[in-house]
A and B are shown apart, each in its own frame.
Chain A
Amino acid sequence: MLEILSYKFMQNAITASIIGGASCGIVGVFVIMMRIPFVGVAMSHSAFAGAIFGLVFGTNPLVMAILFCLGSAILIGPISDRSELDPNISIGIIFSIVLGLAFLGMGMIKGPKTEALNFIWGNILMISKNDIILMVIMGIVLLGFLFLFFKEIQSVLFHREIARAVGIPERIVFYSFLILSGMIITLNLNTIGGILIFSLIINPASAAYQITYKLKFIFLLSAIFGVASCLIGLVFSYFFNAPSGAVIIIVSSLIFGVALIFSPKRRVKTNETQSNTS
């Protein structure tokens, strides 16, 4: 068992699991509490479209992926606020645009499309040292954002209009979150891929949301569940020679299932309902 730790690619994969799992877990709490679950899909497909255009025009796919993701993040908030649309609608609009661009780019790639498809499926075992360095930097930025602006974040997650009414710059907080989530998703595309990353964002945070009423603990638990999903999935995929992204998602779904079954919030609600009806 311990021999797998001696492989360089495995060491990188474990490091990526810890950083990526924690980052996606933290981003997931914003996504769940702001009720914008499809932001992950929109961002990952923005990154996918950017990477494809990087390949088409012979530039660095990662840089293009980041630029596309930033563009989408910058557009989603103002489209929603200025046109008074539900953020999920503006996310849907951006998603449809980047999906169209991604397919257009795929059609423009000559020859095999393997490299482009890697962004869709991802492979944590192929993570490079440079990928990890970027993930660490973004992880630190995300944690910094969380620690420095926790009281503003808590207010915005509770109620955007109330946060604005008390004088908190809630738009800056909301837009910053969108940009950060875009960056985190882009840098984690190699971990589990553009399609499945949606689950790594939603599942750990949803599981944590079932367990506690303390926002700080939700962030902590969600990060732990994200890391656990990645590490357990990684080990299983290694020993059973299964696609790592798929196994990671199955593990994160199982964690959510267990959290839902044993949720103290569910128990409290049941007891209250019973006492109210009796």
Chain B
Amino acid sequence: MSSIIEINNTTVSYRENIAVSNISLTIDEGQFLAIIGPNGAGKTTLLTIINGLGKILSGSARILGIKLTNRTANQIRKEIGYVPQMCSIDPRSPISVKEVVMIGRFGKIGLFRHLNSNDKEIVETAMEVTGIKNLAERPIGHLSGGEQQKVAIARALAQEPRILLLDEPTANLDPKAQREIIDIIERIYKERNLTIVFVTHILSHLPNICTEAILMKQGKIFYKGKIEDALQEDRLSSLYGCPMKYA
């Protein structure tokens, strides 16, 4: 397998705080990688390095074989589906579920162009895969948290991405919604063979198909390897600074 993400000695800071420090990481194409760590470990920042939203202070990154710079970031982002942490949406927001999913296509088709029949087909398929077709015309702000996360995943899929970044997609959801989201992610991975980077700090939310993991603590990679090794009791306890056991 060839590497699709290469991060070399990269540091990202927000004002006086170093969010991630001298991180080096290689992710192979088709890999399902979990990023695990406590709050403030730098998990989200690592995702923003990959999609070019973070400001790199030092080091470099190659994504999809392209060196990440201000000039290339926009081009790279079009190939990366990004599901950020759930944010509150105004219930009166004047945009429907289908329109939100369409946003995923807008970057890809570029300026001065409209969605053609193929683009519309891709949007429909993305809604079908995530089970939100019946919600297409509803205002996005009227949906539950679980439904909004499905819409976010559908929007990312509408990009037809090569890499899918999922930032705590199951956080703050009830158990049923968590299970549904994990099922969708597993199905997408099996059917589309994407490279998926899945961030979580809740170990029980890890999908079964996840084979590799990195543990992050205080802006550094604490461990990288097979998931079963990463989830060993002593390693997790050391990571979280308290007794931890993966059931």
Which residues from chain A sit less than 8 Å from chain B, CB to CB?
33, 84, 148-149, 151-152, 154-155, 157-159, 161-169, 209-210, 212-215, 218, 265, 268-269, 272
Contacts and interface: CB of A to CB of B under 8 A. Distances in A.
Nearest to A35: B90
Contacts, number: 81
Contact of B103 (A158, A210, A218, A265): A158
B60 interface: no
6 contacts: A158-B140, A164-B77, A165-B77, A167-B107, A265-B91, A265-B92
Contacts of B53: 161, 164-165
B96 interface: yes
A182 B50 CA distance: 36
A33 B93 CA distance: 8
Given A209-B92, A215-B94, A218-B94, A162 B84 contact: yes
Interface string B129-141: 0000000000110
B71 interface: no
A165 B84 contact: yes
Interface residues of B, number: 34
Specify the main secondary structure of chain A where it touches its partner.
helix
B99 A166 contact: no
Contact of A166 (B96, B108, B114, B140): B108
Contacts of A148: 111-112
Contacts of B195: none
Contacts of B82: 162, 165-166
B95 A166 contact: no
Nearest to B159: A166
Nearest to B79: A167
B106 A158 contact: no
Contacts of B31: none
A214 B77 contact: no
Contacts of B11: none
Contact of A269 (B77, B91, B99, B103): B91
A158 B107 contact: no
